[in-house]
Amino acid sequence: MTDQWTVVVGIKQVPDEDDVTIDPDTGTLNRSGADAILNRPDRNALEAALEIKDQVDANVIAVTMGPPQATPVLEEAVAMGCDDAVLVTDRAFAGSDTWPTSLVLAATAEYLDADVVLAGEETTDSSTGQVPPGIAAHNGWAQLTYAEELEPKPVDEQIVAKRDVEGGHEYVAADLPVVIAFAYGENEPRPAGLHRKIYAETEFEPEQVTAEELPIDTDRVGLAASPTQVGGMETVDPVEREQERLDSPEELLETLAEEGVV
């Protein structure tokens, strides 16, 4: 660990959830008909990372795991203000579910000597919320989930997260290194500046990291090492609901009593 913090932000290219469909035969997402976009919750994680950079001396690196076609989301992150970006790509990673994905990203965090790892609370193509805690578990690091605000404390080598709890909020401090899942919609992601966009689209090239460089055992990643299976799918038709308008609370109570509700 150096005086300058290294903040790694995990981001993902996902199909636009407004257009995505599910293949009823395989139970998997049909991505072919949807545009590929930056996972929306990851924008909040990117903003949180850049706010840390605004407060302390930090080097912010965006990371995505995927094929070379995922490079545009890294360009977006650099345009927003990230110092660098890394594409973690290898044919061995294809088909990985959340377990091997978190294993690869945990190895990447160590490879980059991360002090803080940030990610959105979940991805819109799977919505499990399992990857950030998985990274922390694989590395034996502290974790802070559903963080709404962050306060870096470089002197103490800690970061404090504000978290929503029933009836209020709690503040939790964690020693570095730490993995943080940032809550969706809890900040306003900054727009990319024009010069940064031009640089990201015309000059920037992400570093590519493979299984060999991490290094990672390829028998522990990919589809064969992914325990998740779709047990079945069923499309449920909406239920027609009867509606009745009542003019007073007294009529409501009388009707509920007749139905045996109260």
Taking only the tens place, the pLDDT of each residue in 127-167 is 788 899 999 999 999 999 999 999 999 999 999 999 988 88
Tens digits of residue pLDDT in 98-113: 888 999 999 999 999 9
> What per-residue confidence (pLDDT) applies to 127?
76
Phi-psi region of 47 (alpha: psi -120 to 50; beta: other; left: phi over 0): alpha
> What per-residue confidence (pLDDT) applies to 18?
64
Whole-prediction pTM:
0.80
> What per-residue confidence (pLDDT) applies to 72?
93
Distances (CA, A) of 140 to 9, 48, 106, 143, 178: 18, 23, 10, 9, 9
Dihedral (CA of 104, 181, 75, 16) sign: positive
Q: Which residues of the chain are modeled with pLDDT < 70?
A: 1-2, 17-34, 229-230, 232-235
How far is residue 40's CA from residue 210's CA, in Å, rounded to a whole number? 26
> What per-residue confidence (pLDDT) applies to 85?
96
> What per-residue confidence (pLDDT) applies to 239?
78
Query: How far apart are the two ends of the chain, measured CA to CA in Å?
Result: 62
> What per-residue confidence (pLDDT) applies to 96?
85
> What per-residue confidence (pLDDT) applies to 228?
76
> What per-residue confidence (pLDDT) applies to 256?
85
> What per-residue confidence (pLDDT) applies to 24?
63
Distances (CA, A) of 4 to 55, 59, 113, 177: 12, 7, 11, 13
How far is residue 193's CA from residue 80's CA, in Å, rounded to a whole number? 7
> What per-residue confidence (pLDDT) applies to 223?
84
How far is residue 27's CA from residue 7's CA, in Å, rounded to a whole number? 36
Do the Cβ atoms of 124 and 17 come closer than 8 Å?
Answer: yes
> What per-residue confidence (pLDDT) applies to 189?
94
